[in-house]
Structure 1
Amino acid sequence: MTVRQEPEERARPLPRPSDVADRRATLAAAALLVFGTALFWSPLRHVDLGAANGFGLISVLPGATLAGAAVIVLSFMLTLALPRPHRVLLVAQILVLVATLHGVAQALEPEARFPTAWQTAGFIEYIERTHTVSWDLDARFSTPGFFAFVAFVMKAVGQHDISPVLKWAPPLTDLMYLVPYMLILRVLRATWRAKWFAAWLFIAANWVGQDYLSPQAFAYLLYLYFVAILVNWFRHHDERTQRPGRRRSPETAQRTGGLWRVYNWLFGPKDPGELPAPQASVRDRTILLCLLFLLILIGTAAHQLTPFLMTASCAGLVLVRRCSLRGLPFIAGVVYAAWVSFMTVGYWSSRKGELFGGLGNVFQNVQQSTGGRISQTSPQTADVQQLRIIIAVVVVGLAVLGLLRRRARGIDDRVALVLLLVPFSSFGLQNYGGEIALRIYFFMLPAACLLVAYLFFPAPFDAPRVRDPRVRVRLGRLRTGPRRHWPAVAAASVFALLLVGGFLTVRYGNEKYEQVRPSDVRAFDVMTQKTKGVIGVVWMSADNPDLVGGTPVMPWSYRDFERFNYTPVIASRSDPADLSEIIQRLREQGPGGFFVTTRSHEDFQVLTAGLAPDFAPRMRAALAADPRIETVYADRDAAVYRLRNPPAEPNPPVPKPSGLGLRSSPWTPAGLIYLPVLLGVLFARELRRLRLPPGETWRLRPLTVLAVPLFLSVVAVIVERFLVIS
């Protein structure tokens, strides 16, 4: 007797062996991710940060933690080796990577890391309390957009303690970076492996530490959205295969040889490295153009460097015909120049040498940003600094190789090339406190990570999945077949493992003195409680403060910003018990004078200025024993001292808010009229461009003729203000 089989059962296909293998490999990658995460985090509860040396956090990380990081990397690379993308697993792996690399220090330390993050808290607290700014207190009050925004949000939600936000801002910021970056990746002609590996590299290669709560982190997010909107919705719709170079005549088309091969490589037919531009309605593009203008305004009001790179990137994309908004660079440039001229006048009018002294000094800015930063450090700290330079050079070098490999396949990656080269133009500006090289690496990272991914996965598109292993499909220059991607994944895995190890070394290489301890914060609280007036903070410097840092490595001025004055005292290297200079500086500060030292600041002087390791303990012992000195607060991590009988003078009043320090010149009233009219004309010109069909841009000529004299007038006013006011 035979059993009749139902039609549904007969139609059910049997699982193919390749599908079963795919499912097993996916489960193995997920299991590796869970195992690596547990292996990384479990031993961290026993870590003693106080035992770190000049190599920073990696010197105290357990071996199991490092092995866990390697397993997490291998889990992601195994997922890349699968025949098709498993997006949920890939997203989970990138989230784990963010938490692992960018959240480990936050999990280990009780307070937010980076003393400069606490300065951000001081700016925010000042604006929230006074509802204004003071240009004479700090240059960053000249671009207060970010501080005012955070102060508004904090007050709106009724939150007055910013410490949790400071502490967990880095991993959250890095997650927010991925959203616009994925928007950029979606328009590129690349395989899914290249795109996901680029996103993974964007997290693993971002060791510069500019993701804490700060204007530059906020402005960088705006920059990524700015570029993402441009390359998604404002590219030319006539992008097509590049035709051969005009100089190649039919008679010479068949010639061969090394010279002609180079010529064909440069000027031969190339396919665009971006997918065809999507069609969008005029209404949608109008809204997006308004959003771009808003991003320019907010970015200009929030940070000094980012608006320049917004302008340069937009101009570069226009020049290579990857952006149709030809007038947008002029709009961004006018907004940036006008803000500097009108809104930051209180700062630049008296600091021309500081602001413009590095203008055009390319080689000097490069030297101060690279070798100049390691000339006075300890051997361990110098090794960390040199490794940072090596990683940056390797990433740039591999990016160039990836660009060349794609070009050899006949692909013209203009968007990636512009985004890679534009940040280097910043070398012609000021040295940015010796950090301009770090900022350039930071801004070129989106393009560099993409091009590095192209080096391993250069194909312009995914090949169809072939069921029959005997079948070979040739698509362009891409040959597909079983396990064809394994060599590339293996090579990428080696690079990924080295990069993660380098990240943990260089990102937290300064952790011995970059961590902020609760006693550091308590020391400044004590000073504000002991006096109601101006607080004169005296701090120890092993050398000229202009060489080793103009401010103490402490959470200084995280509140009551205007009450603090800072005076360095050069340490007497030969005799730590010589307190004469400290006492003299305290007398000069009057009744509000305090001498402050912290363990992080002392480690900074040892590692970066060559101070003897026992100098600070001997100095503290001398201060505690001196009858002229009173110990206000002291423990292992921080100490505050003051004179027992301080002089009554000087006793200066607490500075009142001074605003932006706006100033006028004879031509300023005219400039205030010309500027909004010019921006209105330029913006109307771009709105008009969106509604014109191809080939009718001549209709923009009336607005162009109107904009030219207005532009020249605004430039004349800006120059006149600079000459007259300064």
Structure 2
Amino acid sequence: MGKRSPLTAGQWAPRAVPETRRPDATSAGPPARRPAAWQWAARAALPVALVLWLLSLRHVNLGAMTDLGLLQVLPVLFWVALGLLVLGFCAALSDRRTRGGWFLAHVLALIAILHATPALLYPTLRYGWAWKHVAVVDAMIRNGGSVPGAEKLDVYDQWPGFFHLNALVLQATGLESALGYAVWAPPVTNALLIAPLLLIYRSVTTDRRLIWGAVWIYYSCSWVGQDYFAPQAFAFLLFVTLVALLTSQLRASAERPPGTPARAWPPGRFLAVVLIMAVIVCSHPLTPLMMISALVALSLPRRNRRVLLPVLGAGVLLTLVWDATVARPFVSANLGEFVGALLEPDSNVVSGLAALGTAAPGQVQVSWIDRSLSAAVFLLAAIAFLRRRWTRRTGLPLLVLAPLPVLVANAYGGEMIFRAYLFALPAAVLLISALLFETRRRPRLRVFAVVPLLLAMLGGLLFGYYGKESANYFTEDEVAATRFVTATTPPGSLIVSLTSDVPGLEMNYDKHPRVQLNEQDLAVRRRLVRDPIEGLEPFIDGATEREPAYIVLSRAQAAECYLNGTLPADTMRRMDTAMAGTWGFVPVFRNKDAVVYRYQNPDRAESS
């Protein structure tokens, strides 16, 4: 390999092979032979881990989940399988002759164990927001596009790209609903991320140990859970793909031989980049801002600007045009809030760090582990920046810092700190991989020395990803209750729930006003706790002059109240008891996990 020209700090350094790896890559002579027993043991770990994982799912008591969700009901065999998979991956990583197919197989197995476990265990779709997005797709198909009377959900009409795409899939395939394949969104989304992640990392280094180590660490630390059936998961996949195309083009531009005609982009590739940005802009409100911030960060080094400035200009133009036209109602209504948030950067940063005093004891533990894992990721990335000088000549540090301007500018409903972590993670993990796995001496010893750290990362992810499953999991009885409500209630009827954890209650959301009690202000919640009937009156009396109101209580709602503490854990039981003894409230559906009450205004009932 020829001598490289000096690179400025922060400049993208295509295929910047670490200095310490070059002797390995160019050393003459055949590599040392390892014992056959070691080789077979390393390769056998993968299939054995998969078999143990599948066996561990045979008898899992989902009803026993409380504070720590799936963590407390998964059998020992599950943890043995996961540990064995980590050891097998490290064994493959310690031998530089291991082919890429083995690394890919280990990563796919990790994705299966982490993200397919709920899909295999649960009888219904996981997570209330996933059900909500299925309902939006259904409503857009019924209405031929935007949904009238959507109220709070009209934001989806202004960023409809994800929903229109799924509507096209349903209409092309003849499927009745996205519910069937939405169950598999987490494992599929994570599997699709592998390709752009590899393209990004191969634009930086040729060391397969660093590349696959980074991919593994990404899936070991991505605890935020934005991979379900949602516009954010779709837009994030496109964002990572966009970054992969940009870094690949930067590499190609830097490696162009002297005297070659300067051309920043081949027309076809530039068109593909603009198309991806257009889909991002029409699919999600936050991701375009993260996209622009990343493009600005990567454009700071002068040498990158010829490639990136045309893309940055196109991205800014697309975002401004969309926000000024299709998304104008939302932007206009919230402009004052956006401007006000700019004046409170400290509040925006800490908004997601909710107070833990009212949360369940297990949730306090989960929250601190999530925070610790996130802090550890940034700390290890910072150490890598200091210890591995070659990483400073890449765009990785800039991509890690790129979400910070968006973080200080807006709280995004208290979720911005988690989204900033999500968008910084793909770049941060390659820095961490360089810190952990880059070595000239005894690479096998180095790899196995970090096994405890890799296991700790996975443990932290599982607390964040599985720790709230008692509220994210829905039984078939809960689904039956909400299907009864959405199928039988007259249009215009008010539907009341304690929390958002009700599977499918948004079906026909354009026909029913909704009230979610845990979102009300503190005075309303205190009144509800003091007297459930008095707490309900302001909502149901004013909304039942024409049609009755329906109050839905279910197991998952009680679980969410217990986990996050916004309402006392016994609120649902007390509401059930109070309504059962109050005239006007009629139980119209009940099973072991849910009950539905109908309330008809007494004056209206008598006049009828």
Alignment-derived partner of residue 573 in structure 2: 617
Question: In the TM superposition, what is the alpha-carbon distance from 1:579 to its structure 2 partner?
Answer: 2.4
Q: Given the alignment of the two structures, is residue 418 of structure 1 paired with residue 398 of structure 2, yes or no?
A: yes
Cα 1:276–1:425, aligned 2, differ >3 Å: closer, same or farther? farther
Instruction: Report the TM-score when normalising by structure 2.
Output: 0.86
Give per-residue Cα distances to partners, 1:200-247, cap 9 Å, x unaligned. 1121211111011111111111111111111112447457xxxxxxxx
Give the 3-state SS of the residue equivalent to 2:414 in structure 1: coil
Alignment-derived partner of residue 691 in structure 1: none
Cα 1:150–1:383, aligned 2, differ >3 Å: closer, same or farther? same
Question: In the TM superposition, what is the alpha-carbon distance from 1:283 to its structure 2 partner?
Answer: 11
Alignment-derived partner of residue 639 in structure 1: 595
Q: Given the alignment of the two structures, is residue 536 of structure 1 paired with residue 494 of structure 2, yes or no?
A: yes
Take 2:391 and 2:232, find their aligned partners in 1: how far apart are those partners? 34
Alignment-derived partner of residue 438 in structure 2: 458
Alignment-derived partner of residue 224 in structure 1: 240
Q: Given the alignment of the two structures, is residue 314 of structure 1 paired with residue 288 of structure 2, yes or no?
A: no
Match of 2:421 among 441, 450, 456: 441
Question: In the TM superposition, what is the alpha-carbon distance from 1:432 to its structure 2 partner?
Answer: 0.9
Alignment-derived partner of residue 253 in structure 1: none
Cα 1:376–1:333, aligned 2, differ >3 Å: closer, same or farther? farther
Match of 2:55 among 28, 35, 42: 42
Task: Output aligned runs, 1:511-660, within 5 Å.
Answer: 511-540=469-498, 552-569=500-517, 570=524, 578-582=532-536, 585-590=539-544, 591-609=547-565, 611-643=567-599, 648=604
Take 1:431 and 1:334, find their aligned partners in 2: how far apart are those partners? 24
Match of 1:119 among 119, 128, 132: 132
Alignment-derived partner of residue 384 in structure 2: 402
Question: In the TM superposition, what is the alpha-carbon distance from 1:103 to its structure 2 partner?
Answer: 1.3
Worse-superposed segment, 511-520 or 383-392: 511-520
Contact 1:236/1:322, CA 8 A, preserved across alignment:
no
Give per-residue Cα distances to partners, 1:393-445, cap 9 Å, x unaligned. 001110111122211xx553422112111012211322111100110111011
Match of 1:427 among 391, 397, 407: 407
Contact 1:405/1:458, CA 8 A, preserved across alignment:
no
Cα 1:280–1:215, aligned 2, differ >3 Å: closer, same or farther? farther
Alignment-derived partner of residue 10 in structure 1: none
Alignment-derived partner of residue 19 in structure 1: 33
Worse-superposed segment, 205-214 or 513-522: 513-522
Counterpart residue type for residue 150 of structure 1: N
Worse-superposed segment, 572-581 or 230-239: 572-581
Worse-superposed segment, 441-450 or 333-342: 333-342
Count of paired positions:
562
Give per-residue Cα distances to partners, 1:454-506, cap 9 Å, x unaligned. 101236xxxxxxxxxxxxxxxxxxx45xxx11232023211111111111111
Counterpart residue type for residue 622 of structure 1: A
Give the 3-state SS of the residue equivalent to 1:343 in structure 2: coil
Counterpart residue type for residue 515 of structure 2: T
Contact 2:204/2:394, CA 8 A, preserved across alignment:
no
Question: In the TM superposition, what is the alpha-carbon distance from 1:539 to its structure 2 partner?
Answer: 2.6
Q: Given the alignment of the two structures, is residue 178 of structure 1 paired with residue 191 of structure 2, yes or no?
A: no
Q: Given the alignment of the two structures, is residue 295 of structure 1 paired with residue 276 of structure 2, yes or no?
A: yes
Task: Output aligned runs, 1:250-399, within 5 Å.
Answer: 285-320=266-301, 321-322=303-304, 324-325=306-307, 326-370=309-353, 372=354, 374-399=356-381
Contact 1:403/1:451, CA 8 A, preserved across alignment:
yes
Take 1:359 and 1:134, find their aligned partners in 2: how far apart are those partners? 32
Q: Give unmatched runs, 5+ long, in structure 2.
A: 1-29, 518-523
Give per-residue Cα distances to partners, 1:154-212, cap 9 Å, x unaligned. 11111112212211100000000111111111111252111111111121211111011
Counterpart residue type for residue 338 of structure 1: V
Instruction: Report the TM-score when normalising by structure 1.
Output: 0.73
Take 2:338 and 2:156, find their aligned partners in 1: how far apart are those partners? 13
Give the 3-state SS of the residue equivalent to 1:561 in structure 2: coil
Give per-residue Cα distances to partners, 1:522-541, cap 9 Å, x unaligned. 2222123333311301233x
Question: In the TM superposition, what is the alpha-carbon distance from 1:564 to its structure 2 partner?
Answer: 2.3
Contact 1:73/1:497, CA 8 A, preserved across alignment:
yes
Take 1:602 and 1:397, find their aligned partners in 2: how far apart are those partners? 37
Alignment-derived partner of residue 244 in structure 1: none
Cα 1:281–1:632, aligned 2, differ >3 Å: closer, same or farther? farther
Take 1:60 and 1:109, find their aligned partners in 2: how far apart are those partners? 13
Question: In the TM superposition, what is the alpha-carbon distance from 1:629 to its structure 2 partner?
Answer: 1.8
Take 1:411 and 1:431, find their aligned partners in 2: how far apart are those partners? 31
Contact 1:322/1:414, CA 8 A, preserved across alignment:
no
Contact 1:25/1:82, CA 8 A, preserved across alignment:
no
Match of 2:462 among 490, 495, 504: 504
Contact 1:111/1:163, CA 8 A, preserved across alignment:
no
Alignment-derived partner of residue 489 in structure 1: 447
Contact 2:281/2:319, CA 8 A, preserved across alignment:
yes
Give the 3-state SS of the residue equivalent to 2:413 in structure 1: coil
Give per-residue Cα distances to partners, 1:64-119, cap 9 Å, x unaligned. 21122111111101111114222222111111100001111121111111101111
Take 2:39 and 2:90, find their aligned partners in 1: how far apart are those partners? 11
Take 1:446 and 1:509, find their aligned partners in 2: how far apart are those partners? 23
Counterpart residue type for residue 335 of structure 2: K
Give the 3-state SS of the residue equivalent to 2:550 in structure 1: strand
Worse-superposed segment, 285-294 or 312-321: 312-321
Take 1:37 and 1:68, find their aligned partners in 2: how far apart are those partners? 7
Take 1:314 and 1:529, find their aligned partners in 2: how far apart are those partners? 47
Greater RCO structure (CA 8 Å; 6+ sep):
2
Cα 1:610–1:567, aligned 2, differ >3 Å: closer, same or farther? closer
Question: In the TM superposition, what is the alpha-carbon distance from 1:125 to its structure 2 partner?
Answer: 0.9
Worse-superposed segment, 71-80 or 487-496: 487-496
Contact 2:529/2:535, CA 8 A, preserved across alignment:
no
